[in-house]
A and B are shown apart, each in its own frame.
Chain A
Amino acid sequence: MDILFNKTMDLLSGMLDYRSKRHKIIVSNIANIDTEDFKPSDISFKTEFGKTSSIQMTTTDPGHIGWMGSKNGPVSFEVKTSEEKVKIDTEMANLAENHLMYNMTVDMLARKFRGINTVLKETK
């Protein structure tokens, strides 16, 4: 299965997960714009994406150096709560940015699927 659904899938689905989590947080910040004592939050990666998903570089010679930062483990997120009040312009900008990145990630996943589909169809 790894040949068909390789690491690209893992990376992209991890990205989608992060984007949908972030979307939820931004929406909650916007909904609570008028709530007294509400502190907005944001989410970021605790570890680098590429490092957590075990991408391996092929070593065909003992002298080759492999992927230096390969560590196994799930991507972990960090939620930070700000001490300031909700800034609507920042939140709207974050919303738009996150939205575009989400759509881009979905597009890339769809392309991947379409690629596999083409391979399956055209080799008949």
Chain B
Amino acid sequence: MDLTTSLKICGSGLAAQRAKLDIVTSNLANVNTTRTPEGGPYRKKTIALAAETVADNFDSTIKEAVRSVKIDEVKEDANSIKMVYDPSHPDADAKGYVAMPNINIMAEMADMITASRAYEACVTAFDSTKNMTLKTLEMGR
């Protein structure tokens, strides 16, 4: 029995969901950002997660089924710019248009709730693992 593997997997899930939440928050915070260190307006970012095999020498039967999760890459959406007519804006061009990040707040909020629910699911799984380990220790009493 090796429940620490379960704890590790839970941890990887928590980290992944938290990273996703970070990205969503960054997108939400920068809905109106027109200036970035790289130049130009802020571009919407998305995160891609990947499954990873776990090094566990004890269980050969379930080796293929048990996967932890890792952050594969954070992609920047190059097309996520919309032109908004606002001549009074300091970054407006000669015609009065400003390049703004094209971020859909509703979609971001939905993503945020999904990530937060998935985080909660991981917390429940972690709790369950902890409870099982404690129960096993109780057996000897």
Q: Is the CB of A17 within 8 A of B49?
A: no
Name the B residues within 8 Å of A30 (CB-CB): 10, 13, 121-122, 125
**A to B contact number (C-beta, < 8 Å):** 124
Which residues of A come within 8 Å of B, CB atoms?
Answer: 16-17, 20-21, 23-28, 30-36, 38, 41, 43, 76-77, 79, 81, 88, 91-92, 95-96, 99, 102-103, 106-107, 109-110, 113
B43-65 vs A, CB cutoff 8 Å, 1 = contact: the mask equals: 00000111100100001011011
8 Å CB contact of A23 from B3, B51, B67, B117: B3
Name the A residues within 8 Å of B102 (CB-CB): none
* Contacts A30-B125, A36-B49, A106-B139; A23 near B9 (Cβ below 8 A): no
A76 CA / B122 CA spacing, docked (Å)? 29
8 Å CB contact of B125 from A27, A35, A110: A27
Partner-binding segment picked from B24-32, B76-84, B130-138: B130-138
Q: Is the CB of B65 within 8 A of A23?
A: no
The 11 sampled A-B contact pairs (Cβ below 8 Å) are A20-B1, A20-B2, A25-B66, A31-B125, A41-B64, A43-B62, A77-B62, A79-B62, A81-B64, A92-B121, A95-B124
Smallest CB gap from B117: residue in A: A88
A99 CA / B130 CA spacing, docked (Å)? 10
Q: Is the CB of B51 within 8 A of A35?
A: yes
